[in-house]
Amino acid sequence: MSEYMFGVGVGRVSRFRGRRADAIARKHGASYAGNPMIPGTGYQYWFTCPNHGHPFNEQTEHAVMNELREAGLFPLSQERR
């Protein structure tokens, strides 16, 4: 099964914020993909969930993103761009 990717952002994310974000995402059946360094792009982060199509993907995305915003965790990176 493929994955649905959402909440993409750039910048370095602290381990503390990453763990909190992953815990929130997992409550909704999603996960935080980490904060890899992408050559030519820099640090990136994103979330994934199983791709069940519309409207399930969007419902999961909205639930995760709303809870992250309520917790003051989105955007995850604290870097100014």
Token pair recorded at residue 79 = 């870097």
Q: What is the DSSP string of the chain?
A: --EEEEEEEES---HHHHHHHHHHHHHTT-EE---PEETTTEEEEEEEEE---TTHHHHHHHHHHHHHHHTT-SS------
**pLDDT tens-digit series, residues 4-25:** 999 999 999 999 999 999 999 9
Domain ranges of the chain: 13-32+41-81
Task: Tell me the average pLDDT of the chain.
Answer: 94
pLDDT confidence of residue 78 = 78
Closest CA to 44 of 14, 77, 78: 77
